[in-house]
Chain A
Amino acid sequence: MDPLTWAMLALMVAGTGASAVAQHKTNKERGKVMEEERLRRTAQQKQSEAAAQNTAETYGKTREQEAARAAELATGGAKIAAPVATPQGQKFLGLEAPQSSTLMVEGLKDANARAQAQESAHHAALGKLSAFGDVMLGNNLTAGRNAQDIGQQAGFTQGWQQNVLPALLQKANMAGRDWATAGDVMKLAAAIMSPWALAKGTGANVVNQGINANVGAADVGAGAAGGSAFDPWAFAKMIKHNAKFGVP
């Protein structure tokens, strides 16, 4: 075989190889970009899940917190001031004159104790009611803050996908560009030299002659004129002819 034919074949093989390397490099770079994106998204998703989990746990503790808050409110209720002993007698809350009568003093003490007990019970009952609202307010504020964190993470992911990811993919697409260009150049060179390489090569002439013989000289054109180049039209006609007459 002619050296030119060898050179053409070598260029074609090298060009194809370069294209494969180019594709491989591009795929590899794109893969790296997508892996980074996946890791970033996973990390942000984990943070969002942690925030959501915190919200769920906060609401899950509502009952305990409500009980604790109710107890806090109950103990924080107002207290009746104890009577103050004065030389004139016992001075009770709201009474300007001290009480000296034992009957009155004891009666007022008992009455104060009853009042304190009743009002403390009333206050505790009210505290139990308002404790739920207080705790839920705290829960809602925590949930709002966590929702904000989740939104921020989503914003970061979105920002990355909109602002950075396209540029990174564009860069990755260029990763095999050198090899692809080299492959294109080699294929172009092979294509340019192919008429001469195939014309000089024995095998090419044999092939063309065989084709032209099968199809008929009158139909073959360039192939019939000297068989100097491979004629795809002639080749197609040969295939058709063989199929029509059952030639293997």
Chain B
Amino acid sequence: MSFGDGGAGKEAKRARQEEEARQLRIKEGTTTIRRNFGNTFNDSYYAGLMDAVKKAYMPDVQQQFKVASRNLRAALLRAGLGSSSTAIRREGTELPKAQLRAENEVTQRGIGFQNQRKQDVAYAENTALNQLNQTADSQAAFANAAAAIKANYDAPAMPMLGQVFTDLSAGLATQADLERYGQAKYNVWGRIPGWTARNTYSRNVPGG
């Protein structure tokens, strides 16, 4: 003979089933959302973002470099330093260094964009998963995740690069002119062992 349990068993069974189903939806939804984000924002995506940054900035860098090197060459020639140690220093060291620095700066910007995008993506994924955890409504969370993926997919706005190369020919004409007028000369011979350097100056600039 059974007096029954007043529906407690049935209610417990239903509560168990509902909670297990809720947790399963959240677990599966979490896996799906993370997979969707992971498949979209993978290594090749971030490599592509770096390429996009380089494509956006490199032509500008190269154009500015071309102008800067032409200006430098013109300044060297105007100063009569076309084939000189100054030309070697400016064109052989300072110009390439400026070029390398500009290219590395673009890469740094790319890394910055990548890191920012990684943070944005993590935030978006977190938001979608929080929604899923709170509501257990996987379809709504999937829709939210899809919208977040779409919103974060395109390359970010890239500000103008601005002037990359400072005036590499700065001071050339001034120094040359001063030397032509017998000013601002510096001791050359005194640096060679065995030579007397006292009050001995040399022209560094032809025609000075």
Contact residues of A with B, CB < 8 Å?
Answer: 76-80, 92-97, 101, 103-104, 107-112, 114-116, 118-119, 122-123, 126, 130, 133-134, 137, 141, 144-145, 148, 151-152, 155-156, 159-160, 163-164, 167-168, 170-171, 173-174, 177-178, 181-182
Contact = CB atoms under 8 A, between A and B. Distances in A.
B97 A167 contact: no
A123 B11 contact: no
A42 B8 CA distance: 26
A219 to B, nearest CB: 45
Q: Is the interface of A mostly helix, strand, loop or mixed?
A: helix
Contacts of A116: 96, 100
Interface string B87-121: 11101111111011101100110010001001100
B115 A137 contact: yes
A170 B97 contact: no
B7 to A, nearest CB: 9
B3 A115 contact: no
Contacts of B6: 174
A119 to B, nearest CB: 4
B92 A110 contact: yes
A112 B93 contact: yes
A103 B82 CA distance: 13
A130 B110 CA distance: 13
B8 A111 contact: no
A178 to B, nearest CB: 5
- The 8 closest A-B CB pairs, nearest first, are A111-B92, A174-B5, A78-B103, A94-B69, A107-B88, A171-B12, A167-B15, A167-B12
Contacts of A103: 83
Given A80-B100, A160-B19, A111 B119 contact: no
A114 B111 CA distance: 27
B138 interface: no
A92 B122 contact: no
